[in-house]
Amino acid sequence: MEDTILVTGGAGFIGSNFILQWISEVGTPVINLDKLTYAGNLRNLEQISSDRRYQFVQGDVIDRHVVSDLFRLHRPRAVLHFAAESHVDRSIRGPDDFIRTNVNGTFCLLEEARAYWMNLPESERQKFRFLHVSTDEVYGSLGPADAAFNEETGYAPNSPYSASKAAADHLVRAYYQTYGLPTLTTNCSNNYGPYQFPEKLIPLVILNASTGKPLPIYGDGRNLRDWLFVLDHCEALRSVLARGTVGQTYNIGGGSEKCNLEIVETICAILDELRPHDQVVPHRNLITFVKDRPGHDRRYAMNICKIERELGWTPRESFESGIRKTIQWYLEHEEWIREVTSGAYRQWIATHYAG
Ligand code: NAD
Ligand code: TYD
């Protein structure tokens, strides 16, 4: 169908926010290819599940037959590649799936996209885009006085997760340079917002604090991240897709650099106000310093001048307003939380935070 886009990993945190925003603000058809790993959740897309513009296909990006069938049947004008294993701590405990999905899966998707794109009529070939969604973690770690990462910063990944994303970014670059596939790559900072799986810092802290459980902070809690509200990221992706220059990469960030301790204390303070009768108040009494993550990157910061200057995108949400909306969302979605924190989640928490 003309104007259809193919989204991979659309049942995850950012992918589902992207699809919901796309359907409401753009409204052209979306095919969502997702394997439904522990991180994929069709509940996130419940409100559009019977919308005729949206179709879900359960499948693996590494499965060449599934991917080539989707290209042949739906003739998408663009691919937005979100599918990935995305949690650093899991990549440390078991890197295999990260290499399989993030590296080999991206390679398979690129190969099938190339085969499809090469056979398109000229006018459609010109318009086709392959947008690869990546991370600031590929650039490695900054010292306290270092300048923020820009698009020319050399890659220096430190975790199996960031190394697998860096490898995928290199493949995407090579497919543009070698074959002319019209690719775009975005490198974004830490996202937060609705539908984030509660293994990541912000939703984990909201859930634990509101249920009287310890708030685990790795090391000294002074590691710095740049935080971006997920819907701002989704808007940035739409700008890059619509107006980005092919073959280019764009940094995306929130201009909101904060250390982990500050993040946790902010969440605790908002919960003190919203839930004064919780088991443990003030919630900050639940803060517990735990063993540091191996190879823990000290600081990420993003220079976003390129996307601001060239595409006119800038984040709308401040951290203060975004975190409040996020906390409220988690407090109002107990059913969603109950579902995602069943068996497999409990197993991860029990193993990872043991001792
Ligand atoms: P997520 O873990 O919440 O979701 C990943 C989705 O991909 C899930 O729905 C999962 O089922 C699906 N998936 C995994 N393996 C698959 C496979 N082999 N085939 C098909 N589907 C598969 O991740 P997220 O936080 O939404 O991140 C999405 C993308 O954005 C990732 O590529 C990630 O590297 C990147 N990114 C994330 C952040 C962040 O802060 N979360 C920041 C920058 C970039
Ligand atoms: P995370 O949400 O896992 O994102 P990333 O590792 O991709 O940046 O972690 C954000 C920061 O929070 C990171 O510095 C690690 C830290 N962190 C904790 O201190 N405790 C935790 O339980 C988790 C999950 C993360």
- Is 132 strand, coil or helix? strand
In a domain, 84, yes or no: yes
In a domain, 337, yes or no: no
Look at residue 139 and tell me if it is in a domain: yes
How many helices (H) and strands (E) are present in the chain, helices listed first? 14, 12
CB within 8 A of 280, min separation 6: which ones? 209, 212, 286
pLDDT tens digits for range 171-217: 999 999 999 999 999 999 999 999 999 999 999 999 999 999 999 99
**The amino acid at 171:** L
Instruction: Assess whether the C-beta atom of 17 lies below 6 angstroms from ligand 1.
Output: no
**Annotation marks residue 353 as catalytic:** no
C-alpha distances (whole Å) from 173 to each of 106, 115, 132 are 12, 17, 10
- State the pairing for strand pair 257-259/224-229: antiparallel
Residue 353's pLDDT is what? 95
Q: Name the residue with tokens 């899991």.
A: 90
Q: Is the CB of 12 under 6 A from ligand 1?
A: yes
Q: What is the mean pLDDT of the chain?
A: 97
- Which atom of ligand 2 lies nearest, measured to the CA of 199? 24
- For residue 28, the CA-to-ligand 2 centroid distance in Å is 35
Distance in Å, CA 209 to ligand 2 centroid: 16
Distance of alpha carbon 40 from alpha carbon 4, whole angstroms: 22
Ligand 1 mean position, distance from CA 278 (Å): 33
CB of 135 within 6 A of ligand 2: the answer is no
348 lies in a domain?
Answer: no
CATH code at position 144: 3.40.50.720
Task: Render pLDDT for 147-161 as a digit per residue (tens, 0 to 9).
Answer: 999 999 999 999 999
Half-sphere exposure of 296 (CA within 13 A, CB side): 16
Cα–Cα distances (Å) from 350 to 12, 287, 343, in that order, read 22, 18, 11
Residue 1, pLDDT above cutoff 60: no
Q: Which ligand is nearest to the CA of 264?
A: 2
126 part of a folded domain? yes
Nearest-angstrom CA–CA distance, 193 and 323:
7
* 249 in Cβ contact with 185 (< 8 Å): yes
Please indicate, yes or no, if residue 210 is contained in any of the structural domains: no
pLDDT > 70? residue 121:
yes
Q: Is 224 inside any structural domain?
A: no
The number of CA neighbours under 13 Å toward the Cβ of 38 is: 16
Band of residue 2 on the pLDDT scale cut at 50, 70, 90 = confident
Which of 85, 112, 137, 317 does the annotation list as catalytic?
Answer: 137
List C-alpha distances in Å: 116 to 19, 64, 112, 206: 23, 12, 6, 44
72: containing domain: 5-191+229-254+302-316
Residues 6 or more apart whose CB falls under 8 angstroms from that of 107 comprise: 168, 171
Within 13 Å and on the Cβ side, how many CA atoms surround 61? 33
Residue nearest to atom 22 of ligand 2 (CA): 216
Q: Is residue 42 part of a domain?
A: yes
Q: What percent of the chain has pLDDT over 70?
A: 99
Provide, rounded to the nearest whole percent, the portion of the chain with pLDDT above 90.
Answer: 98
Orientation of helix 319-332 relative to helix 201-210, angle to 10°: 50
Across the range 16-35, mean pLDDT stands at 98
If one counts the domains in the chain, the total is 1
Pairing of strands 78-81, 54-58: unpaired
Residue range 121-143: mean pLDDT, rounded: 98
